[in-house]
């Protein structure tokens, strides 16, 4: 029996969109998802079940371990499709989760069992506003699609670096990338979002409407709803601008001197890097470069002429590398060179990768040596961990710091270095997981001990899932506010699979 209803849903005092009485019908429990939901979805949507040939594609993830499992994936095409799917899931007490780019890798995602994946990948529009300063983005876009889509329109905006990661999950956690020194975090550029809440209602969040939710979306957004559209600030692209990328490999004995130079560029954590400069230092195994010890890979990325880059990066020249290669490219070409384009090694699934991150102001030379030693020993002793890497991502932060701390749910704006402590193990070999975790934790522990910080700051989008909520979202008033908003916007705690705040 179909129950028809026509109510304006009340979200703790917020009157939400009046749902269309004919369109939104509540299914009786046990109703088959295809039979009930299918006719209610838009013509471009699809319901995909595990026995269907396109299942592998619909449920694919970058991460191979501790992942959500689905009884169906609904590839939605409109906001109403999202609403319908949520109502169906609610009526059947089925858990659900949004799928943006499918690149989330926190272990907490594995808590969703046999649920419905609400895949946004058919929602990929980019629409410029008349003023040309903002654009509406479909929630299924990836970084690469935003990058290329805007480039074709003579525009650009803050995005993450890796082409394959989704705009949605990335933005809702803050979103770090090469342009952040100029434009701020990806979330800092959000001007408005359409959000479908856990009760199926759709609302607008902006500085004028549902302002608390708007605040929360920028940094803790995975906890509150499914964003069906992101309205973002955009900027003119600079087609003439060149970027210089130098990739060098060093033997491990150069670690201290490299770290000291980078600390010098940061005035030991007191100032950010010059706008645009990024340094990615990695510990990795590369037997063809050093057959016994892990090597150091250093990427120096800088906008401007080769001459300008050479002046800034001159201190590195005196250190003899195993190899060095400099490329000059346009902004959108950087991703290819650094290996994070759609076909690059950074984007390649499948694999079981975790990260136990920490953010830092500067490098503690002794802690870096200790971290290297742990990395070197573990990857030598555990063959299954040999694809692991510790990546120290140094970004400029001027525009990030220019945004008032209290104005968003992003808690840690001041840090210059994001450590992506990536543990890569074999998902099939479950015995590998314990040493993998312990090894990753040891590295995080020594970096934290050397940081002089009172609280371990863990970027939500890199987090492992063993962190406390305070480590991820900040403590004191931040957690109080987030908990209050959670009760208001998601009282039934349906959005609890991505480093949840409760
Ligand atoms: C190869 C790679 C490169 C990366 N590069 C960067 C980088 O340069 N900068 C950076 O900051 N981070 C980066 N990350 C981390 C990235 O921000 C997170 O992994 C993020 O969760 C990816 O989002 P997604 O949409 O692809 O993932 P998904 O797994 O689809 O989503 C992650 C979480 O967000 C939720 N979600 C997704 N879309 C929506 C939506 N529209 N509304 C509500 N909830 C939604 C999902 O339900 C899920 O809980 C990278 C990750 C990988 C794997």
Read off the pLDDT of residues 147-171 as tens digits, 9 standing for 90 and up. 999 999 999 999 999 999 999 999 9
User: Is residue 109 within 8 Å of residue 68, measured between CB atoms?
Assistant: yes
pLDDT confidence tier of residue 349, bands split at 50, 70 and 90: low
| Mean pLDDT of the region 115-137 | 96
Instruction: Return the bridge partners of 196, or none.
Output: 202, 226
pLDDT at 17 over 60: no
Instruction: Tell which wins on pLDDT, 300 or 432.
Output: 300
Segment among 114-123, 211-220, 228-237, 374-383 with least mean pLDDT: 374-383
Q: Report the mean per-residue pLDDT for the chain.
A: 91
For residues 237 and 152, the answer to whether their CB atoms sit within 8 Å is no
At 181, list the tokens: 């020194």
- CATH architecture of residue range(s) 3-119: 2-Layer Sandwich (3.30)
The alpha carbon of 164 and the centre of ligand 1 are apart by a number of angstroms equal to 10
Rounded distance from Cα 222 to ligand 1 centre (Å) = 10
| Range 221-240 average pLDDT | 96
Q: How many angstroms does the Cα of residue 498 sit away from the middle of ligand 1?
A: 10
Distance, CA of 315 to CA of 298 (rounded, Å) = 13
pLDDT attached to residue 313: 82
Percent of the chain with pLDDT over 70: 92
CA dist 275 and 62 (Å) reads 31
SS (H, E, C) 174-202: CCCCCCHHHHCCCHHHEEEEEEECCCCCE
Q: Is 451 exposed, middle or buried (0-12, 13-18, 19+ CB in 10 A)?
A: buried
Instruction: Tell me how far apart the 2 most distant CA atoms of the chain are, in Å.
Output: 78
Do residues 230 and 193 make contact, with C-beta atoms less than 8 angstroms apart? yes
Give the span between the Cα atoms of 347 and 165, in whole angstroms.
8
pLDDT of 6 reads 27
Three-state DSSP at 116 gives strand
Is 12's pLDDT higher than 60?
Answer: no
Distance of CA 303 to the CA centre of its chain: 24
Q: How confident is the model at residue 16 (pLDDT cuts 50, 70, 90)?
A: very low
Residue length of the chain: 502
Ligand 1 site, residue 465, Cβ cutoff 6 A: no
Domain limits, CATH 3.30.43.10, in the chain = 3-119
The second-level CATH assignment, the architecture, of 243-467 is 3-Layer(aba) Sandwich (3.40)
Instruction: For residue 99, report the distance from its CA to the centre of ligand 1, in Å.
Output: 9
What string of DSSP letters covers 390-409?
EEEEEE--HHHHTS-GGGSS
391 touches 420 (CB < 8 A): yes
Ligand 1 atom at shortest distance from the alpha carbon of 498: 49
pLDDT of residue 7: 27
pLDDT at 30: 56
| Residues carrying CATH 3.40.462.20, the chain | 243-467
Q: Give pLDDT tens digits for 19-43.
A: 444 455 555 555 689 999 999 999 9
* β-pair type (134-137, 126-128): antiparallel
Specify which residues 54 forms β-bridges with. Answer: none
| Ligand 1 centroid distance, CA of 294 (Å) | 29
Strand 190-196 with 155-156, pairing: unpaired
Residue whose tokens read 């302002």 = 211
**Two structure tokens written together for 305:** 């002429």
Residue 461 has pLDDT above 70, yes or no: yes
Residue 109 CA: which ligand 1 atom is closest? 49
Q: Is the pLDDT of residue 62 over 50?
A: yes
- Establish whether residue 138 lines the binding site of ligand 1, counting it when its CB lies within 6 angstroms of any ligand atom: no
286 burial type by CB count under 10 A (0-12 exposed, 13-18 middle, 19+ buried): middle
Determine the average pLDDT of the residues in 235-252. Answer: 94
The per-residue pLDDT for range 128-152, each reduced to its tens digit, is 999 889 999 999 999 999 999 999 9
- Report pLDDT for 65: 83
Task: State whether residue 358 is helix, strand or coil.
Answer: strand
Token representation of residue 163: 């082409």
Residue 391 CB neighbour total at 10 angstroms: 20
Of residues 346 and 120, more confidence is placed in: 120
Cβ atoms of 248 and 258 within 8 Å: the answer is: no
> Which residues belong to CATH 3.30.465.10 in the chain?
126-238+479-489
The candidate with the shortest Cα–Cα distance to 105, out of 370, 346, 338, 363, is: 346
Enter the CATH code of domain 126-238+479-489.
3.30.465.10
Distance, CA of 96 to CA of 37 (rounded, Å): 15
* φ, ψ dihedrals at 343, nearest 5°: -100, 10
Q: What pLDDT does 199 receive? A: 97
- Ligand 1 atom having least distance to the Cα of 160: 8
pLDDT of residue 19: 45
- For residue 4, the model assigns a pLDDT of 29
pLDDT score for 422: 86
- Probe target for ligand 1 pocket from 78, 96, 97, 103, with the most ligand atoms within 8 Å of CB: 103
In this predicted structure, the answer to whether residue 241 has a pLDDT above a threshold of 70 is yes
| pLDDT(431) > 60 | no
Quote the Cα angle for 174-175-181, to 5°.
105
Give the integer Cα–Cα distance in Å for 173 and 461: 6
Query: Higher pLDDT residue, 101 or 432?
Result: 101
322: pLDDT strictly greater than 60: yes
Mean pLDDT of 60-73: 92
Is residue 464 within 8 Å of 106, Cβ to Cβ? yes
Work out the percent of the chain whose per-residue pLDDT is above 90.
79
Instruction: Supply the DSSP string of 224-276, one letter for each residue.
Output: T-EEEEEEEE-EE--TT--EEEEEEEE-GGGHHHHHHHHHHHTGGGTSPPSTT
pLDDT of 29 reads 52
Angle at 342 between CA 336 and CA 345, to 5 degrees: 70
C-alpha 86 – ligand 1 centre gap (Å): 20
């Amino acid at each position: 029996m179909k129950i028809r209803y026509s109510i304006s849903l009340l979200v703790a005092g917020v009157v939400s969109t009046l749902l269309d009485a004919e369109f939104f019908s509540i299914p009786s429990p046990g109703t088959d998802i295809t039979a009930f939901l299918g006719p209610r979805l838009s013509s471009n949507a699809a319901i995909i079940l595990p026995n269907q040939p396109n299942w592998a594609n619909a449920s694919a993830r970058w991460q191979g371990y501790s992942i959500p499992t689905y009884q169906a994936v609904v590839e939605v095409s409109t906001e109403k499709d999202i609403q319908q799917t949520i109502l169906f899931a609610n009526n059947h007490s089925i858990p659900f989760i949004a799928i943006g780019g499918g690149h989330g890798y926190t272990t907490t995602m594995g808590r969703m069992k046999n649920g419905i994946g609400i895949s946004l990948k058919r929602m990929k529009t980019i629409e410029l506003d008349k003023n040309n300063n903002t654009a509406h983005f479909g929630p299924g876009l990836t970084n690469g699609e935003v990058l290329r889509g805007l480039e074709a329109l003579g525009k650009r905006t803050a995005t993450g670096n890796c082409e394959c990661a989704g705009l949605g999950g990335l933005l809702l956690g803050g979103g770090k990338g090469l342009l952040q020194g100029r434009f701020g975090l990806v979330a800092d550029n959000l001007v408005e979002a359409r959000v479908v809440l856990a009760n199926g209602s759709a609302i607008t969040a902006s500085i004028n409407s549902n302002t608390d939710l708007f605040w929360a979306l920028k940094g803790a957004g995975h906890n509150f709803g499914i964003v069906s559209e992101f309205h973002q600030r955009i900027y003119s692209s600079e087609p003439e601008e060149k970027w210089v990328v130098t990739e060098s490999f060093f033997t491990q004995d150069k670690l201290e001197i490299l770290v000291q130079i980078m600390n010098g560029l940061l005035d030991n954590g007191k100032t950010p890097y010059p706008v645009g400069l990024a340094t990615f230092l990695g510990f990795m195994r590369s037997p063809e470069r050093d057959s016994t010890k892990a090597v150091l890979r250093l990427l120096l990325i800088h906008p401007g002429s080769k001459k300008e880059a050479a002046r800034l990066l001159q201190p590195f020249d005196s250190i003899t590398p195993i190899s060095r290669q400099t490329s000059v490219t346009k902004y959108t070409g950087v991703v290819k060179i650094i290996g994070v384009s759609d076909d690059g090694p950074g984007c390649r699934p499948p694999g079981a990768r975790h990260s136990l991150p920490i953010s830092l102001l500067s490098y503690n030379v002794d802690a870096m040596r200790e971290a290297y030693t742990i990395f070197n020993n573990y990857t030598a002793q555990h063959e299954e961990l040999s694809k692991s890497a510790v990546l120290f991502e140094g970004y400029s932060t001027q525009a990030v710091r220019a945004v008032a701390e209290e104005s968003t749910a992003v808690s840690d704006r001041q840090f210059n270095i994001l450590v992506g402590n990536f543990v890569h193990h074999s998902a099939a070999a479950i015995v590998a997981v314990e040493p993998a975790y312990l090894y990753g934790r040891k590295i995080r522990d020594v970096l934290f001990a050397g940081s002089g910080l009172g609280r371990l700051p863990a970027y939500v989008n890199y987090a492992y899932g063993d962190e406390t909520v305070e480590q991820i979202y900040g403590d004191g008033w931040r957690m109080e506010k987030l908990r209050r908003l959670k009760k208001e916007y998601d009282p039934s705690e349906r959005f609890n699979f991505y480093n949840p705040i409760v």
